[in-house]
Amino acid sequence: MKRDSNAILIGLLNFSVLKKLQWYLVVIAGISSVIALVAPSYISGKQIIQANSSLFAGIILSLLLVFRTNSAYDRWWEGRRAWGQLVNDLRNLSIKYYEFVRPNLQEREQMAALLIRFANATKDHLRLLDATHSRAPECENPVSEHPMLIVEEIYALLEQKRREGRLNDMMFNVLDPHPRALLDILGACERIATSPITVSHKSIILHIIVTYLLLMALSLSPEFGMWSVPVVLVGAYMVLGLEIVAEEKEHPFGTAEEDLPLDRICVNIERSVNKLLLCDSLLPRDVEWGHTPPAIAEVEIAPSPVTQSV
């Protein structure tokens, strides 16, 4: 209960959207002030209120709250689900590779490096696509290594183990869905990054917002005069704030505060892969499988003090 109360308090004291809208609100306040001074002499406010109260309020609420906000959040949540699936597939691939192939320390380091590289390369690739909205697999300034090439290296490594007889066909078929899933996740994230909501949808919603705010100022100023300005500002903060939030949620792979925490997810992936493939607790199994860890090998090869004295 205390945690919920703290979350509500933090939310109430968060004015990040207001900071982003401050200059828009200044302009709207200026326009509303001019309308409040001029409109009472020319317009009867009651008729405008009756004409637009149901029509424009319904359009704003339905289009802006339902379509814009929900569609933007769906994109954000779909990206988060894709990265959650990426974490699971990399963990599964690490475990199955270790148990099926029974790799030595050097082979485990090789696979761990590939999996960690894939996560970081995917993050960089998506951030570049999210900034350019390019539909091409490579942008004008591509990342140093494309995630597809890393998946190709993973398949090459697995095929090498199969040729060596350390992976039979059944084991390979069990491992195969996870590298294949990496490409599926990459494709899903590329689709999100390169297919933003169309310009026509954004423009019509912005036109409706502007029309609604102007009509609000025109309808309230004959009755309330300058007191209509703060009312218009409150309405502008609500509708424009939702538009700003939706715009940020629409591009989930960037580096803004509202975007997905890809850096933190990549760090968690690195920790998981290292724990599954490079943990010191795996060294006894190396001995069991006939692999001699470097540290043990050095202890066995180094001559004892008694031997040296003899």
DSSP string across 120-147: HHHHHHHHHHHHH---SSS-SS--SS-H
Instruction: Give, for all 310 residues of the chain, the pLDDT tens digit.
Output: 555 555 445 555 555 656 666 666 777 777 777 776 676 666 554 555 554 554 555 566 666 667 778 888 888 999 999 999 999 999 999 999 999 999 988 999 999 999 999 999 999 999 888 766 555 445 555 555 789 999 999 999 999 999 999 989 899 999 999 999 999 999 999 999 888 777 777 777 777 777 777 777 777 777 777 777 888 888 788 777 777 888 878 889 988 878 899 999 999 999 999 999 988 777 788 777 777 655 444 433 334 343 343 3
| Phi, psi angles (nearest 5°) of residue 224 | -115, -10
Spatial distance between the Cα atoms of 12 and 79, rounded to a whole number of angstroms: 27
**pTM of the full predicted structure?**
0.75
**One-letter identity of residue 96:** K
Return the CA Rg of the chain. 30
Count other Cβ atoms within 10 Å, centred on residue 189: 25
